[in-house]
Structure formats: structure tokens, C-alpha cells
Structure 1
């Protein structure tokens, strides 16, 4: 019914994707970029200051260590600042993190191993990684679930890795999810907000 979302396990997970070989190989997550950011905090929080208001998300490093480390590294390097929420489907998803306001694709690091089997579900106000058809292709784009999207959970095939939940600003997301959208033929993007919605800054908050 809905098109697949493009690009958005415990702490003992020891894998990362090898792009050149197309397979996974063992690696210590503590050596990942981002692993030293609040290293002893399993639930770091990130504030997202958007053009429609502020959202705060709580990450779950216990369940999705590889994904959380990757996300924190992008945040610390200010890679999410001044990016678009470029894809919105009412009562389904709000997606962003990958494009400048001019729809230029932002630089990406290597992909992260799919951690969708971590027990976290694509429930209302959860945050997950976007990806292509390859289950291990998530890089930097993420999305907010604006419904209980069971179709994005793992089953006979890989799902979409949930790594965080919204703890403040659900009313901002509710407003975002209902904006008017359109098709942009020049860039062949579906479901683009008519009025740009900008992620102005993403900031790691002090531990509670």
C-alpha cells in the first residue's frame, strides 16, 4: 500500500556492514564513531529545533547500539543542521535528515547493520532509520512513525531499525504530519511539503 521507506540487539552486538563485500563482519561497537559520546549513557537525548517547533528524542543505545552511535556522530558533527524534512505521509511517517533546503543530498558515511530485530517496534512517535531495499543500507536519514506501523517491523524479512522515541514535542510532529504535500517533478520526489520544514539544529543534551 505504502511505498517502502528510502534512504531510516543489545549492547553486545558486534557487527558492522562491509560495503565492498556486501556482507557483515565483526567489529567492536565501542570503536565506532560516536561511541565515546556520553559513553556510559544508554539513553542519550537529542533536541531537534525545527522551523515548526522543538522535538526531543531519547535514544536507546541498549537496544540499538550501532544505530545510536552512528546517529550521535552525525549530530555531534552538525550534519543534521539545516536539513529538510523532505517526505511526509499523513498518519504514516515524517522523514528527514538527508537533504539540504535546496534538495542537495548530504554526505553520508558507510551504512549501518540493520538492528530491527532488537525488540523495539515501529509504534506511534518512535524514531527509525530509513533505508533502501537492501536491509543494511541505512546511513543518515531517519523517520518518525506517525502511527503504529506494524508493516515496518521485522517478520519474514528485515524491518526498519527503531532506535529512539519522542519524549517532547509530539504536538509539533502532529502538525508536521498534516501539512500539505506535493510531487516535485524536477527532482522526482513524492510527498514533499509545499512549505519547506527545516531541521535548524540537532543538539545532544546533557545527561539527566
Structure 2
């Protein structure tokens, strides 16, 4: 009888220890994991590069902004865009088989926002195709608001002009603009206007 009592007591202690131990182990809570996954997905969404839309008198152009690789340059461009800076400016310089250039408030190629930003050459960014969105400048660290879009690969510009985006829709419009009639200064005889420029999330 005494042995039986000891056995029952031992089993009771063992059971209580297992119960206490189970409370300190991680729980497999699917609801918590789902919430964590949602949060992670939201974080990824927040980091997705934004899109700039150029509505022009010759059609619409969309370009992805490389916020992940060129944060300084894209932040400057987005800030100006959201202020309406580029609305109703023209492409003041167009050269077939090269590029189209805009962003000068004077329409001459000499104007800017009144400040300059540091050159930023993001990893892996090359002028290796048509549709590259890059900063125009007058030398190192002189970029401001003027930009250009390539119509062919222009590798000689690598390390000299800061790339900050790429056309994802409307490359045909870019090519059409590059081929308009122009004067000796490469300015279109008929203004090609950016009627509205704005940022979207896609």
C-alpha cells in the first residue's frame, strides 16, 4: 500500500512538471504568424519603387524611379514633381539616336531649381539601353531639375550622369519626340510640352 502511494505521488509530480514545462515552450500560433506575414508584406510594399507619369502633348510616358538604388536623386525629383515644378515645361533639347531633355524652367537649358545635388551613381546602373532616365548636368555635382531620357545605349555617359529611372511604358512616345523637327540648337520647332507630371504607386 505504501509502495502504491509512492507510485501515485511520483506520477503526480511528473505530470505537474510536464504541464509547467509546456507553458515555457514556444507556441505554434498560426494567427500570430499570419499577422507577421502581413506586416512583412506591407513592409515590402512600402519599399516598392514609385512611378512617374509624364503626360505630354505627344503622348504619355511612364518610368520607374529607382528609389532603392538612387535615393538622393529620386527624392529630389519626386519633391520637385509633387510641387508641380515640371508641369507645362518643355523638352527643350531633342537629338535623334541620342536622347530628349527637359526640366528647365526657362526652356533654354540654363535654368534650374536654384540649388544643386550631389552626383549619385547607383550600383549596376548603366546607360545601356533606350529609355534610361538620367540627370543632365554642367559638370560634377551640378544636377538640379533637368533630366534626359535616352533613345539608344549611351555608355560614355556612365559615371558622369546620375541614372534614377527607366521608361516602362511609352518608349514609342520618347522616340517620336526625339524625331521632331528642330533648330540648330536642337530645340523643337513646335514645343513638346509636359502638360502634367505626377507620381503614382503601381
Q: What range is the shorter-chain TM-score in?
A: 0.7 to 0.9
Q: Which residue matches 2:147?
A: 142
Q: Which residue matches 1:71?
A: 77
Q: Which residue matches 2:60?
A: 54
Deviation, 1:70, is 0.2
Deviation, 1:127, is 0.3
Deviation, 1:109, is 4.2
Q: Which residue matches 1:12?
A: none
Q: Deviations over 1:46-102 (max 9, x none)?
A: 11000100001110111100000000000000000010100011110100011356x
Aligned positions of 1:9-48 closer than 5 A: 40-48=46-54
The DSSP-based 3-state class of the residue aligned with 1:71 is helix
Which of 111, 115, 121 is the equivalent residue of 2:120? Answer: 115
Tell me, yes or no, if the aligned pair for 2:112 and 2:146 is still in contact at 8 Å.
no
Q: Which residue matches 1:173?
A: 174
Uncovered stretches (5+) of structure 2, i.e. residues with no partner: 1-44
* Count of aligned pairs: 157
Which of 192, 195, 201 is the equivalent residue of 1:200? Answer: 195
RMSD between aligned residues? 1.9
Provide the rounded CA distance (Å) in 2 between the counterparts of 1:170 and 1:53. 10
Higher CA-based Rg: 2
Provide the rounded CA distance (Å) in 2 between the counterparts of 1:127 and 1:136. 17
The DSSP-based 3-state class of the residue aligned with 1:116 is coil
The DSSP-based 3-state class of the residue aligned with 2:113 is coil
Tell me, yes or no, if the aligned pair for 2:73 and 2:164 is still in contact at 8 Å.
yes
Tell me, yes or no, if the aligned pair for 2:92 and 2:109 is still in contact at 8 Å.
no
Q: Which residue matches 1:128?
A: 134
As a proportion of its length, which structure holds more helix? 2
Tell me, yes or no, if the aligned pair for 1:130 and 1:141 is still in contact at 8 Å.
yes
As a proportion of its length, which structure holds more strand? 1
